[in-house]
Structure 1
């Protein structure tokens, strides 16, 4: 890890990952990229951590996207597959993630927010896929079709114009809105709601959603049943109904 990306492992099982270059609008410069790769790896490997929240330092930017100066210096054409840390693409995570968008999320900033499973946004946040404005492209946006309607996606990509947090919420890109000073509080509340569920059930649910976006109906049903077997046969699957019958909180073991 480096100080460009901060990592807080909380006792409640939540990891808070913070992009920490506010003076550079938390752009995806080299040390941010390296720090994010390390942070996602640390989160995935730590069995005590169950949910991660990704946010940015300051109140101006979540992440302003790629470093255009670096692209000029490197005469960058097609970005190498391993250049940017993107869960669901070149990073595999088995646990849920939440983007807490505190400011602008433009281009690569939208990319890493989109790659999280859930999104909470400050009312002052803005989102944009700005690649058309600088002659670049946004192939990473392809999965967006599973989140928002086609014609809205088309307009966002073809115009490069920013949308407000409220608009992002209306089209289904954002799960919850929060006043700027309440952003992390709302993100932590959402994470806590996930933590209330049995770990293996949460993992199976995550798999079910992802399978459903990649397969036809019958194939997704079959794959989701297979993905749920471990949860059904776990100790927690017996503990949950028992706790309900005894009117107490379940004690999850994750096995």
Structure 2
């Protein structure tokens, strides 16, 4: 069963987390599906992506306790996959833990009035650390409140805190996200990409975010053809022939 769907129309990619029976909990398959979708988006002619989720109860309740993803960062836009095109999150219902880590890395967020954000890791006793990137995206005191207290944050409160751009009636979040996406599709792509790139360079990176980005680069070197050539040449006791990829 496909856990993440990718659809493309009119220059807009729609990426859907599709595990409504598990309240869209993030397991290894979802993270792999998100990573694949972001790669597809990066290589496509689509100019903007919308991330949303199936079902009525939750955007996502965070990590699946039965199959927690080993490397959540792989599925996070602009961390697992470099993206110079904008991503809009359309959120509803529960958005918990690692799900918000994904949402906070989107460029725009449209939230249904039903949305409840929550980051309970301080009360549970575990964190992957990527949530600390919130300090670069919303005011410091609001970020600390959200990260440390583990309390429910309504959509309206989230807008006050700078976590979302729009709060909309239930069921309309995807439509509103599409309206924003069409504005971006009709905008100059080089300007949109340049401004997003400048913004990403301006934002400070948390230790976990910087570590994930470094690991991604190191893995790309390890898994490259040059990496394989180096290992084979060492075993065969000959000079390696590197080609830069």
TM-score normalized with structure 2 length? 0.79
Aligned partners of 2:35 and 2:80 also within 8 Å: no
Aligned twin of 2:25: 27
Cα RMSD over matched residues?
A: 1.7
| Whole-angstrom CA distance in 2 between matches of 1:143 and 1:137 | 13
**Cα displacement string for residues 58-95 of structure 1 (whole angstroms, at most 9, x for unaligned residues):** 11111110112235xxxxxxx75566411232221111
| Whole-angstrom CA distance in 1 between matches of 2:199 and 2:103 | 17
Aligned twin of 1:202: 192
1:29-68 correspondence runs (5 A): 29-46=27-44, 48-68=45-65
Aligned partners of 2:136 and 2:204 also within 8 Å: no
Partner residue of 1:86 out of 76, 80, 97: 76
Aligned partners of 2:92 and 2:173 also within 8 Å: yes
Shift of 1:191: 0.7
Aligned twin of 1:135: 125
1:1-255 correspondence runs (5 A): 3-10=2-9, 12-46=10-44, 48-71=45-68, 80-81=70-71, 84-214=74-204
Aligned twin of 1:232: none
How many residue pairs get aligned? The number is 205
TM-score normalized with structure 1 length? 0.76
Where does structure 2 lack aligned partners over 5 or more consecutive residues? 206-245
Distance 1:82 1:107, change over 3 A: closer
Q: Any idea what SS the aligned residue of 1:52 has?
A: strand
Aligned partners of 2:13 and 2:41 also within 8 Å: yes
Shift of 1:133: 2.4
Q: Any idea what SS the aligned residue of 1:190 has?
A: helix
Q: Any idea what SS the aligned residue of 2:75 has?
A: coil
